[in-house]
């Protein structure tokens, strides 16, 4: 087995052109927020393209799931983070090399960059020996890395680097600063005078006092006086510095390309796991879903909206989870019920979970089976767009028409409040037409609507409603339950609150 890429199974999808734009539905599903949060602390890696391409091959998804599962071992995760930190430090060093001017300074930074690289590789090889891994991706990578670390090219790089570092650390010198001149010579065991003075006054020492040390400029560059001194020091130690020159000339291409690519790609996993770790600590569950491409029965237990959960955890607010499933003929969730009861959240959850599953990621929930879709479409209410000269209703119809043109039986459609800008009769009529089309395609769909009539459209539709606490309608439960849409529960509780139920009104009207 040769190692190819940690993101792509050699037998499955291959690395194509990396997309630079997020898919159209990202904003509607709040996936943009999720991906922003996942990649926020790892901007340098340019990870977003990885989150923009879904996979169409179940093997590749399984390949990633296995890597992800391996990485759930805390120690392995930490080892790779450590490797990543070192590689970042190495790159920062190379940036310095380009920025600096003085030859011996550039060379010293380059030497340190190589030292960090060697340490990163050796450390990772050693650490990977300590953990059990099962994924093909990580196993083949480990094998590749071990071979590399044993190669002559790498071992001699390590030896040379160490020797040179050790030599440079032996350099010690003295400066005598007097008026306008500085003299340099090798250090010769002169007494530390500050310590001498300190000892004289030792007897007065009482507790902690102010620190009078001045923070002197400590930038990485040197002024011309320092450069002049360094040149003199180099003349005091000629052998060491000529070895340094030679070393840098020979080793400019030290970095292995495969390792460079791995360093970026592994971040896809680390970033995602890091992101969900916070949510897990708050008690939320994640699972590796089973993906099907021939069976449209799906289920999710304890699913939730990842973007919302991320926000709520920061505010220390509990997150409500929902179970849902579609079986047999069922294809379409029709979501109705009180506003702000979690309808849109439910729709987003459905979309997010499918999308993330097709990236090979663990998804919100304690257990799930989801469908490997070919395309995902969303139709969310938009602000009226004055540039296209259509009315809003027309705009709605144009957009949904476009969706239905391109959708296949293996697509996913998520509709949030459609046709709200017309009369209720129109809405019912148009809604029915659209559901007919969707039914014909036999695809999976979530349709959030205020049109109660759509809830019992046919055998493919499942009615789910958002719920409220009867005694306190102001309190939202965000629970979505399978239930016929009667449009009553909410109205009755509002009436109770105002003392306008039948019994209450009878009571209040005294004879």
Partner 1 sequence: MKALLLYRDRDFEPLHELSWSEEALIQDLELNTLFDAMALGDKFVRGVVDKAVLSGLRNDLETIIYRQDILKDCLKKPSVVREIYDLAVETITEERKIYGGVVRYPSSTLRRSMEALQLLVGMLKKLRQIADKHGSTFESAGFTRLFAMLQKELSDEYFDTVQDHLKELRFGGGVLVSAELGKGNKGTNYVLRKQDKKHGWIEWVLGAGQRPYSLHISDRDQSGAKALSELRDRGLNLVANALAQSDDHILSFFNMLRTELAFYVGCLNLHEQLVQLGEPTSFPLPVAQPNRRHSAIGLYDVCLALTMQQKIVGNDLNADNKELVIITGANQGGKSTFLRSVGVSQLMMQCGMFVPAEALCSNICDSLFTHFKREEDTTMSSGKLDEELSRMSDIIDSMTANSMVLFNESFAATNEREGSEIAAQIIRALVDRRVKVFFVTHLYEFAHGFYKKGLEHAIFLRAERHDDGRRTFKLNEGEPLQTSFGGDLYSKIFGANDYN
User: Which spans of this chain sit near partner 1 (rule: CB under 8 A)?
Assistant: 96, 100, 104-105, 107-109, 112, 168-169, 171-185, 187-188, 190-198, 200-201, 203-207, 209-214, 216-217, 220, 222-226, 228-230, 232-233, 235-236
Residue 451 near residue 428, CB atoms below 8 Å: yes
Q: How far is the CB of 206 from partner 1 (least distance, A)?
A: 5
Report the candidate in 6, 59, 21, 18 with the shortest Cα–Cα distance to residue 270: 6
Q: How far is the CB of 103 from partner 1 (least distance, A)?
A: 10
Q: How far is the CB of 170 from partner 1 (least distance, A)?
A: 9
In the complex with partner 1, which residue's Cβ is closer, 112 or 396? Answer: 112
In the complex with partner 1, which residue's Cβ is closer, 153 or 203? Answer: 203
Encoded tokens for 27 = 């904003």
Give 62's strand partners: none
Q: At what angle do helices 74-99 and 257-281 cross, to 10 degrees?
A: 130
HSE-up of residue 22 (Cα within 13 Å, Cβ side): 17
Q: Are strands 298-303 and 367-371 parallel, antiparallel or unpaired?
A: antiparallel
In the complex with partner 1, which residue's Cβ is closer, 226 or 246? Answer: 226
Encoded tokens for 227 = 């450069």
Q: How far is the CB of 190 from partner 1 (least distance, A)?
A: 4
Backbone phi, then psi, for 455, in 5-degree steps?
-65, -30
Report the candidate in 332, 341, 337 with the shortest Cα–Cα distance to residue 414: 332
Q: How far is the CB of 226 from partner 1 (least distance, A)?
A: 6
Report the candidate in 121, 145, 122 with the shortest Cα–Cα distance to residue 133: 145
Report the candidate in 272, 266, 353 with the shortest Cα–Cα distance to residue 305: 353
Handedness of CA 183, 189, 191, 195 (dihedral sign): positive
Encoded tokens for 199 = 């000892």
In the complex with partner 1, which residue's Cβ is closer, 146 or 243? Answer: 243
Q: What is the distance in angstroms between the CA of the first residue and the CA of the last residue of the chain? A: 91
Would you tell me how many other CB atoms lie within 10 Å of the CB of residue 249?
Answer: 9
Backbone phi, then psi, for 326, in 5-degree steps?
-130, 130
In the complex with partner 1, which residue's Cβ is closer, 172 or 482? Answer: 172
In the complex with partner 1, which residue's Cβ is closer, 129 or 218? Answer: 218
C-alpha distances in angstroms, 229 versus 175, 223, 232, 234, 338?
Answer: 9, 10, 5, 9, 77
Encoded tokens for 339 = 């506003």
Taking the C-alpha atoms of residue 235 and residue 26, their distance in angstroms, rounded to an integer, is 62
In the complex with partner 1, which residue's Cβ is closer, 235 or 433? Answer: 235
Q: How far is the CB of 254 from partner 1 (least distance, A)?
A: 18
In the complex with partner 1, which residue's Cβ is closer, 240 or 441? Answer: 240
In the complex with partner 1, which residue's Cβ is closer, 249 or 475? Answer: 249
Residue 114 near residue 157, CB atoms below 8 Å: yes
In the complex with partner 1, which residue's Cβ is closer, 2 or 218? Answer: 218
């Amino acid at each position: 087995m040769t190692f190819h890429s940690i993101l792509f199974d050699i037998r499955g999808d291959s690395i194509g052109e990396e997309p630079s734009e997020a898919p159209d539905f990202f904003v509607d599903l709040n996936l943009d927020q999720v991906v922003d949060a996942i990649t926020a602390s790892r901007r340098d890696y340019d990870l977003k393209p990885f989150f923009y391409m879904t996979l169409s091959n179940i093997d590749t998804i399984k390949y990633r799931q296995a890597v992800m599962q391996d990485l759930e071992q805390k120690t392995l995760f930490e080892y790779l983070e450590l490797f990543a930190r070192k590689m970042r430090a190495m790159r920062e060093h190379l940036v310095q090399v380009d920025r600096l001017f003085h030859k011996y300074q550039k060379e010293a930074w380059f030497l340190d960059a190589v030292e960090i690289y060697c340490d990163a590789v050796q450390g990772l090889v050693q650490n990977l020996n300590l953990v059990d891994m099962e994924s093909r991706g990580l196993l083949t990578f480990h094998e590749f890395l071990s071979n590399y670390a044993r190669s002559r090219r790498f071992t001699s790089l390590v030896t040379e680097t160490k020797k040179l570092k050790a030599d440079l650390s032996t350099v010690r010198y003295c400066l005598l600063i007097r008026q306008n001149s500085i003299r340099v010579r090798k250090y010769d065991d002169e007494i530390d005078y500050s310590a001498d003075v300190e000892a004289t006054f030792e007897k007065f020492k009482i507790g902690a006092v102010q620190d009078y040390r001045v923070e002197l400029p400590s930038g990485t560059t040197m002024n011309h006086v320092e450069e002049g001194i360094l040149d003199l020091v180099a003349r005091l130690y000629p052998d060491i510095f000529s070895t340094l020159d030679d070393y840098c000339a020979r080793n400019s291409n030290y970095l292995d390309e495969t390792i460079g690519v791995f360093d970026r790609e592994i971040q896809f996993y680390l970033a995602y796991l890091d992101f969900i770790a916070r949510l897990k600590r708050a008690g939320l569950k994640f699972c590796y879903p089973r993906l099907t491409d021939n069976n449209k029965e799906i289920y999710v237990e304890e699913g939730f909206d990842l973007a919302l959960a991320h926000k709520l955890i920061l505010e220390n607010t509990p997150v409500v989870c929902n179970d849902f499933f579609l079986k047999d003929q069922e294809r379409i969730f029709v979501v109705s019920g009180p506003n702000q009861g979690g309808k849109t959240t439910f729709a987003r959850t459905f979309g997010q979970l499918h999308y993330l599953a097709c990236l090979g990621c663990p998804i919100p929930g304690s257990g799930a089976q989801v469908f490997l879709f070919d395309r995902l479409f969303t139709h969310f209410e938009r602000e009226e767009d004055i540039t296209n000269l259509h009315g809003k209703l027309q705009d709605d119809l144009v957009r949904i028409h476009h969706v239905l043109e391109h959708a296949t039986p293996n697509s996913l459609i998520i509709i949030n409040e459609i046709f709200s800008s017309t009369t209720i009769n129109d809405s019912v009529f148009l809604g029915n037409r659209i559901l007919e089309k969707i039914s014909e395609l036999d695809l999976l769909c979530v349709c959030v609507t205020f049109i109660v009539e759509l809830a019992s459209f046919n055998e493919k539709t499942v009615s789910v409603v958002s719920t409220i606490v009867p005694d306190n309608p102001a309190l939202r439960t965000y629970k979505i339950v399978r239930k016929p849409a009667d449009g009553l529960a909410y109205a009755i509780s509002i009436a109770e609150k105002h003392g306008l139920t039948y019994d209450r009104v009878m009571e209040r009207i005294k004879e």
